[in-house]
Structure 1
Amino acid sequence: MGRCRHTSWLRLWKAQSELGLEITDRPQRLLEDFQNPDSDRGGLLMLIGNRSKRAAFTTLRIQNGTLGQRGNGEVHLFASSFKGREAIRFLIADADIPRHGRLPFACRNPPCHNVAGERFTARVNPKSASEFSDKLFHKSLFPFADVVCLFVADVGGIEASIRRLASWLDLGRSSTASLRPRLFFIVNKEDEKHARTCLREFKSSIDKSTLEDVFQSVSILAVPSRPSKNGRHKKRSRTRCWDVLRHEVLRSLEASRETRKRSGYLFSIRHLAAFLHHGATSAAQASAMPFDFIKISRLDRGTAPDLSLHLVNFLNQFRSLATLKQIAIPLIASSLLLDHYPPGMHSFNPCDVFNVLYINACWQASRHLTHINRGSLLPSEMVELIKDSMATHYAEVQASGSSVVDWHRLQLSQSHSFLSRASSDETCLCCIRRRPQYTLHCGHAICQTCVKSFHRQGGNDPDSDPWVVQLDACQICGASIQNLLIRLIPDTTRIRVLSIDGGGIRGSAPIAFLKALEDEIGIPNYQVQRHFDVKFGTSSGALSVISLDVLGWSVEDCMCYFKSFAERAFQCPVPIALRMLSKVPVISEVARFLYFVYIMIVDGKYSADGLERLLQETCGPDRTLTNCSASTEMGTHVGVTLTNTHNDYDILPPEVGHGRVRLWEIYFKSRRIGDLGAFQDGGLAFNNPASIALREVAALYPNAPEPSMIVSLGTGSSSSDDDEASGNHSWWGDKFPFRLSRALWRQANSQVAWKQLLGHRILGSRTQYFRFDVDFGGKEPHLDAVDQMDAVGQAAHKAIKGSPTLHCLARCLRAELFFFELDASHPPQFANGCFTCVGHVMCRLRAGTAQYQEFMRQLRETSAALRVGNQKYGFTTEDIGENFSQRVRFVVPNVKDSFEITLVGSDDDCRHISGSPFTLEWLVQSQGLDAWFGTDDHRKRKTSSEYMRLDVKRRRLP
């Protein structure tokens, strides 16, 4: 299929009282016209007119493009150059001003271009078609144009042209940059004198600053109106006039190019295309703010909203003015470079970047310094020091040719001796911009973005797991780290959530459920907890998730430990006197009352001393949830619910120091934890933490879609409780104290909480909900009935074994071991009215492990296959020995239309792989394929070789 030759980019349209704008993907298509759009630089020449413009285009010897008849309100875009100056390429925006108020009706959709439509809001609805185009030019073209040529004869003469100029000036500055385009009025030779007079009169009637806000200069250039038939002299004169125009346009383009280069606004073709696209999509919006290149380049990754707080936390580590100047300020400046200049970002002037993005946060941070003599360093002085240091660092990075990541690593290494004594639970001292997530063995805590930025994913082995990062040293203090692996969640997967209820000894039921699930999934030696990304537990459920994830135990080991834990936890030290009195028939009731009083006095039925010793022996006295552990290698997040004795549950905000909460402090009688307050068992308010888990997932992954599934494991209930609730009570059982007691107890009921969660599902939600519980039928076992633990576990195993829901969940989890990524080296292409996409289905399990080999063998033997649309891809014997990467090709009509990739079993049972159903828009955003200005983790664009290392593994496209 030949390349599309359409050049249409923007098209105004009108339908009754509605005004709109049709926008094609023409700027992105222009990248194909350049050999290296990431390094090639180009300006923008804007031509406004029609018939005279077409004649000038031919005479000016501009090549690589043709000007055809343009409809009213159209803007075309193409790449070109002057003959004889082919090395200097630029873009041409070919436009016209609608005359007579006529505009085409509605949108049109050419099959070879992706078209989007924008409607002008009521606040910016123009009164005429000319005003319409004025606003369009002001927002979509003037911010990027170097030269604007307005062909006066094509827009109604010099008076009409000056009216257009006045309208443009009324709109004010088009961008925040100091550069402005040069405007040339192209007039016929015989009209030159009159045109100069009119322009001079107009300039004298306005302030000079008003004109300079929009255009660098406005001048008149005269050209012949028609070919001369009289003599060689007149022909030479006519040629000289066209040469003057060509020379002026070329000289202005080159001068603007040099000015942009000096000021840091000479963009690559890729960046210019991105800015053009954004300018077009914002043209219909009501905002009158000038185009801000720096802010627009950060739309997809804004600065940290709490940057000033992190700066204060970092500055509080320094106690002297000398260390503040020598260490703190240079590191802050280097961290700001790290934030703004990832691979792919344009080389903006660092002083401009600081003034636009960081100056306010630095001002706020400098005003909060209290431990250093305020008189010795004013806030304004500190802000200027950071700004100057940022500019110095930038110049040194440019001169050295190193990456910003390597440069910041060098700055940190030069401060290791000081930073080894610094620590913070609220701020990552590596980037100084985020909350930390991983506490290393040296005691320093770092964020996940720094893990991705400073350490190679997959290590040096090309066949290693690309989603595992191996840390060999702490970037903050330089301490050596041995065998620390951090697993990351693939960008295009959805979160799998596990929630475990609390229930004392009945906590053996969820463990039995997990064992049955592990057996049903059927992958030997692959622990069931690895199938979930976020796990939450309350009370005994918290103990389970800690044992499974933080300690990395198997389900069998967890059950054994749980039994010994219960035996030591539920030892009741009853005073000897009370035990003796309870044996006397007459006063046994008195003994029970005294025992109740005793429990009230000691604040609990059971002593926590032995329990805390057991937890410290198991977890360690200083281990916290942020410490690197088995969950770090599994890539999972663990949550434990606590209930504040005075308030309800809440997500711990950044400033409360969550890293100081030790695992052994979360059980039994209320305990004050640091300065966070007094807490007690979370089961008293949220025995089923499923809803809390969903809230935490949204906080952990604010940009991720909803979870793919949430699995809730109960600790048993009795249907007789419901019968009692609806049945007959004695007359005293219906009195207020007992009714209040039942109401309060019902609020903590796990089944009620689950029904409420299901009742609040969003319409159209794709999250799957699974709940497993035990119905004891009769009276529930007491929470401290240690002798009934085995019976509870057996009842749970019996309740779930052979369950269709269990079978369904196991199939879903097996399918979720696969995920899909678009091939970054073959971005989606729009043609024939749809997008053609190429990507790879991959597996979370890796070749060379027994789990992977067995999983692939099972899929092959059961004739399982991956289904993409109408295509099926089976599994072969070659898949067993190599990392799975199935290349697929498919088409979708729209970026917002969903498509499915499923794992099909032998019984034709289909289950979505992780993330499915997808939309092309979400995949592009998740993989950062549209991040033309870089990503936070400084990733580079993937090539096809990174998806498929071995050519022998490469599969043919159908």
Structure 2
Amino acid sequence: MKYTSNAAWLDVVAGDHGDVRIRDSGRLSHMLRELENPGRQHSMMILFLGSEAKDEALERLFEKYVTQNEPEKSNTTIRLQREAEGNDAPVLFTDDELHATLSAQQRGNYLLLFLFCNIVCIFTEDFPRLDRVTHFLLFAAQAGSASTLPLQVRSTALVVLRQDSEPHRLEMNKFHQTITAHRGCIAEAFSTVRTITLDIYSQLRNALQPHLDHAANIHSAHRARFTAVHLDSLFQTALRHTVMTVTESFDHIKKMRIDNKVPENLAFHLTNYIRLGLRAEISVEDLVPSIAFSIVADNYPLRAHCKPPPNTILKLHAKIPVSDSNLMFECLYRQPILEAFLWQCKEQPILSLAPDAACELVRVETNRVFLSMKEKRMPSAELHQNQLMSQSALFCRVRSNRTCLWCRFQKPEHRPDCEHDLCEICVR
């Protein structure tokens, strides 16, 4: 394969038992950490798949692109143009060769790359006929997607045609008809398939920009647009996940909490909290806001979901949440909240709201709190404290040595002068 020696990134090899092994050179992490403000820059990624035409396109994009035949060095390379280091949305260009068969190793590589690529460029000049491009798209779709994010934020497949070799209109019509007929299959890997026609590949940079802008808008709408810090952390987690399994989905919301997991006994603490509130004659409707604020404070602390990279100043970290509040609620909190209300129904059969309705009310309130935090750009802990103060008259009589009444998620370990027991985290 042709590669740029200083751009080598991923090397996919077969393990002793046919398992997936991916060697990471660390180049992605190195490039992301060298950005001017990795905590504020939202990196985007484009994957070029092909052979000679793909290499020609890269030569047009990168003046110092030098290729040589050394296939063992790296299956996948990655580059960042120097002038993009200070951009709000620096674009990473990755490239890989076309593969005739979908081996377990290559499927793992596609699953990993498709998690983070906004656009996958396929060059028709690297195929003998346009129908072979269709076959390749269906072939690539066999890899599917490991993402649990909405279909709209999956990669766009961008088929690049050269005007001097543009297929006949009948051939193009057949291409679009086939894509439409297999839309369900292709949606397993790609959000959409689009085509662009160029005179020369030097026009590719400008042609890509509208598609990058569209991808950025879609990701922002679904709150799935990652900063460089998030991308670095998530990619390393996804790499470990892919090496372990190519059949299980990569749940980025749960993976973001891998070092700060939701307490396993959350349902117990919420049950206890609701019980205490009802005994103090606090209605379910008045309990809901405090639960919602607790959820937001738990899932969106300052510098949420990312580890500090070495030698990175803390102020550079992302402070804006990246995971959709509705997805977060469904993935992490709905079940323990529902269990808490169901358990309460056993103790007190008549509640003002049915468990399902109460749980849905918490979800709606959680989303409202999330939007408020985003609009005000206020730390979740500060919002949480303000909410506690606003309901202090309701909860002043409530005491518990089993559940921290500040976060409602942990066992209390300290009793300050106010005599409201607090957990180790909240007492700080």
Alignment TM-score, normalising by the size of structure 1: 0.39
Cα deviation, residue 331, structure 1: 0.9
Residue type at the aligned position of 1:388: V
* Match status 1:289 vs 2:248: yes
Residue type at the aligned position of 1:45: I
Cα deviation, residue 393, structure 1: 1.6
Partner Cα distance (1:201, 1:450) in 2: 59
Report the 3-state secondary structure (helix = DSSP H, G, I; strand = E; otherwise coil) of the residue aligned with 2:195.
strand
Task: Identify the residue that residue 196 of structure 1 maps to in structure 2.
Answer: 172
* Match status 1:163 vs 2:125: no
Partner Cα distance (2:125, 2:16) in 1: 30
**Superposition pairs of residues 120-519 of structure 1, within 5 angstroms:** 132-137=105-110, 139-154=111-126, 158-178=130-150, 179-188=153-162, 189-190=164-165, 192-193=167-168, 196=172, 199-200=175-176, 202-203=178-179, 205-206=181-182, 208-223=183-198, 238-239=199-200, 243=203, 245-319=204-278, 323-325=282-284, 327-345=286-304, 346-370=321-345, 372=348, 374=350, 376-452=352-428
Change (3 A) 1:209 1:320: farther
Task: Identify the residue that residue 24 of structure 2 maps to in structure 1.
Answer: 23
Cα deviation, residue 14, structure 1: 4.2
Cα deviation, residue 265, structure 1: 1.0
Share of identical aligned residues, percent? 19
**Superposition pairs of residues 413-812 of structure 1, within 5 angstroms:** 413-452=389-428
Cα deviation, residue 155, structure 1: 6.2
Partner Cα distance (1:441, 1:32) in 2: 45
Cα deviation, residue 187, structure 1: 3.9
Whichever of the two has the greater Rg, that structure is: 1
Partner Cα distance (1:368, 1:354) in 2: 20
Partner Cα distance (1:290, 1:251) in 2: 30
Task: Identify the residue that residue 67 of structure 2 maps to in structure 1.
Answer: 68
Structure 1 runs not aligned, ≥5 long = 100-127, 224-237, 453-958
Cα deviation, residue 328, structure 1: 1.6
Q: Decide whether the 8 Å contact of 1:8 with 1:76 is kept in 2.
A: yes
Change (3 A) 1:205 1:420: closer
Report the 3-state secondary structure (helix = DSSP H, G, I; strand = E; otherwise coil) of the residue aligned with 1:177.
coil
Partner Cα distance (2:174, 2:236) in 1: 36
Cα deviation, residue 221, structure 1: 3.3
Partner Cα distance (1:416, 1:67) in 2: 67
Change (3 A) 1:401 1:216: closer
Report the 3-state secondary structure (helix = DSSP H, G, I; strand = E; otherwise coil) of the residue aligned with 2:263.
coil
Cα deviation, residue 216, structure 1: 2.1
Cα deviation, residue 308, structure 1: 0.8
Cα deviation, residue 330, structure 1: 0.9
Residue type at the aligned position of 1:66: Y
Partner Cα distance (2:294, 2:190) in 1: 37
Partner Cα distance (1:331, 1:170) in 2: 45
Q: Decide whether the 8 Å contact of 2:147 with 2:250 is kept in 1.
A: yes
Cα deviation, residue 444, structure 1: 2.4
Change (3 A) 1:210 1:443: same
Q: Decide whether the 8 Å contact of 1:97 with 1:155 is kept in 2.
A: no
Task: Identify the residue that residue 313 of structure 2 maps to in structure 1.
Answer: none
Partner Cα distance (1:220, 1:13) in 2: 32
Report the 3-state secondary structure (helix = DSSP H, G, I; strand = E; otherwise coil) of the residue aligned with 1:450.
coil
Cα deviation, residue 209, structure 1: 2.6
**Superposition pairs of residues 900-911 of structure 1, within 5 angstroms:** none
Cα deviation, residue 272, structure 1: 1.3
Task: Identify the residue that residue 44 of structure 1 maps to in structure 2.
Answer: 45
Partner Cα distance (2:277, 2:75) in 1: 60
Q: Decide whether the 8 Å contact of 1:158 with 1:198 is kept in 2.
A: no
Cα deviation, residue 35, structure 1: 0.6
Task: Identify the residue that residue 12 of structure 1 maps to in structure 2.
Answer: 12
Partner Cα distance (1:131, 1:205) in 2: 27
Alignment TM-score, normalising by the size of structure 2: 0.83
Report the 3-state secondary structure (helix = DSSP H, G, I; strand = E; otherwise coil) of the residue aligned with 2:144.
coil
Change (3 A) 1:129 1:397: closer
1:397-445 Cα deviation digits (max 9, x unpaired): 2333321112211222222233231122221111111111123344322
Structure 2 runs not aligned, ≥5 long = 305-320
Change (3 A) 1:219 1:406: closer
1:855-900 Cα deviation digits (max 9, x unpaired): xxxxxxxxxxxxxxxxxxxxxxxxxxxxxxxxxxxxxxxxxxxxxx
Q: Decide whether the 8 Å contact of 1:330 with 1:386 is kept in 2.
A: yes
Cα deviation, residue 392, structure 1: 1.7
Partner Cα distance (1:427, 1:321) in 2: 15
Partner Cα distance (1:98, 1:418) in 2: 65
Q: Decide whether the 8 Å contact of 1:335 with 1:432 is kept in 2.
A: yes
Change (3 A) 1:372 1:321: farther
1:321-347 Cα deviation digits (max 9, x unpaired): 983345421111111111101122233
Q: Decide whether the 8 Å contact of 2:48 with 2:96 is kept in 1.
A: yes
Partner Cα distance (1:378, 1:65) in 2: 65
Cα deviation, residue 97, structure 1: 3.0
Change (3 A) 1:286 1:131: closer
The answer to which structure, 1 or 2, has the higher relative contact order (CA under 8 A, 6+ apart) is 2
Report the 3-state secondary structure (helix = DSSP H, G, I; strand = E; otherwise coil) of the residue aligned with 1:220.
strand
Partner Cα distance (1:144, 1:334) in 2: 31
Q: Decide whether the 8 Å contact of 2:10 with 2:22 is kept in 1.
A: yes
Change (3 A) 1:315 1:204: closer
Partner Cα distance (2:207, 2:38) in 1: 27
Partner Cα distance (1:65, 1:412) in 2: 59
Cα deviation, residue 15, structure 1: 7.0
Residue type at the aligned position of 1:182: T
Partner Cα distance (1:15, 1:212) in 2: 30
1:25-61 Cα deviation digits (max 9, x unpaired): 22221123311100111211111123212222343xx
1:773-820 Cα deviation digits (max 9, x unpaired): xxxxxxxxxxxxxxxxxxxxxxxxxxxxxxxxxxxxxxxxxxxxxxxx
Aligned Cα RMSD in Å? 3.1
Report the 3-state secondary structure (helix = DSSP H, G, I; strand = E; otherwise coil) of the residue aligned with 1:369.
helix
Residue type at the aligned position of 1:184: L
Q: Decide whether the 8 Å contact of 2:404 with 2:421 is kept in 1.
A: yes
Q: Decide whether the 8 Å contact of 1:54 with 1:67 is kept in 2.
A: no
